[in-house]
Amino acid sequence: MPLLVVDCKSKGESTMYLRTWPATSLLLLATLAAVLVPLESRESAAQTKGAVQDDKLRELGGQWLYVKDLTKDRPSEKQGPPMSVKFVLRIEKDAVVHVRPRGDERIPLDGSATEVTKRGTITRYRGGWKDGVFKYETDVVREKDKSRVVLIQREFRITPDGLLVRVSSGSPAKLHGVALYRHPKDIALPKPAKATMADMEWLGGAWIGQKGTRSTEERWSPPRGGAMLGVSRTVSRGKMVAFEYLRIVQRDGSLVYVAQPGGRTPTEFVLTELGKTRAVFDNPRHDYPQRIVYELSADGRLSASIGFVNGGRPRGFEFKREQK
């Protein structure tokens, strides 16, 4: 770059100017560098932090399945999911969407509210993402007088063990429950117990159970050809209200219980415990039930129950052998 000397009164002054210019320029460049480098570092750090936050937020997406209740001091029989057993979150550029059968709940990440008016009520969804935690509330009020129907607060936090979900309700908030959820593929399958079809021979036959106006029957064929076939039917007030196709099959040195409620897609449960007259079948990757238990008592009654693998109060059914 050429050097221009303007308004120099003498050769000496011009020489002095030319000598001091490089030093002044270097000092100015050093000063600019000292200012710009930290600024660039701060911008880079902010971008990195934003990327980390975005990655964490994206981890919320997908289907989540209840694993176990972590609410402090809650008895085992009262344990259960604080919200749906299974739910789906969809991550968008500026919102998190809670996918629900009756209508998706869209929660903008900027703190603004999504408002839905339906059947005389106004529902507002509001929340945000901060420090690795996504929180949102559902506030339902009556359209007519704006009186509150319900206020629910949900909190979702990614942990090394899975998704920690905390649900409260009311104002002031009262804890409803804390539970661990995981993606179904991340839930370990149980180790099968060794057994043969002959070990289930005690289940064979026709069983009848009565509960109020509902009569339920299960009919199991004897073990033959590596399988037992069953069918269940529930009748209330003279009308069939439910049915189910059932199988127990021998596989890889163990037994698998296959259920098709209403003839729908089969769901398999692995034998995990076996006694002389007791069998437990588990599938922790299923929403509900996750566990099926059959047990024959000493007086010849058959009990069947369904429930969660971890905690909760199972739903029980009692049967007597059908009289010929």
> CB-hemisphere CA count at 13 Å for 315?
6
Alpha-carbon distances, residue 176 vs 37, 134, 140 (angstroms): 50, 17, 17
The whole-angstrom separation of Cα 218 and Cα 205 is 8
Instruction: Quickly count: other Cβ atoms within 10 Å of residue 86's Cβ.
Output: 15
| Top CATH class, 62-186 | mainly beta
197-321: CATH, from 3.40.50.720, 3.30.1330.60, 2.40.128.20, 3.30.830.10: 2.40.128.20
3-state secondary structure at position 38: helix
List the beta bridge partners of residue 250: 255
Over its length of 324 residues, how does the chain's per-residue pLDDT go in tens digits?
444 333 444 444 444 444 554 555 555 445 545 545 555 555 554 444 444 457 889 999 999 999 999 999 999 999 999 999 999 999 999 999 999 998 899 999 999 999 999 999 999 999 999 999 999 999 999 999 999 999 999 999 999 999 999 999 999 999 999 999 999 999 999 999 999 999 999 999 999 999 999 999 999 999 999 999 999 999 999 999 999 999 999 999 999 999 999 999 999 999 999 999 999 999 999 999 999 999 999 999 999 999 999 999 999 999 999 987
The whole-angstrom separation of Cα 27 and Cα 8 is 23
The whole-angstrom separation of Cα 250 and Cα 271 is 10
Q: Report cis status (omega within 30 of 0) of the bond before 289.
A: yes
One-letter amino acid identity for 86? K
What are phi and psi for residue 123, nearest 5 degrees?
Answer: -115, 130
In CATH terms, are 62-186 and 197-321 the same topology?
A: yes
Tokens coding 76: 């085992």
Q: Is 107 exposed, middle or buried (0-12, 13-18, 19+ CB in 10 A)?
A: buried
List the beta bridge partners of residue 142: 121
Q: Is 101 exposed, middle or buried (0-12, 13-18, 19+ CB in 10 A)?
A: exposed
The full set of domain ranges for the chain reads 62-186, 197-321
> Which residue is listed with tokens 């163990």?
254
Q: What is the pTM of this model?
A: 0.81
Which H/E stretch holds residue 32? helix 11-58
The whole-angstrom separation of Cα 179 and Cα 186 is 16
> Which residue is listed with tokens 């319900």?
150
- Give the model's pLDDT for residue 5: 39
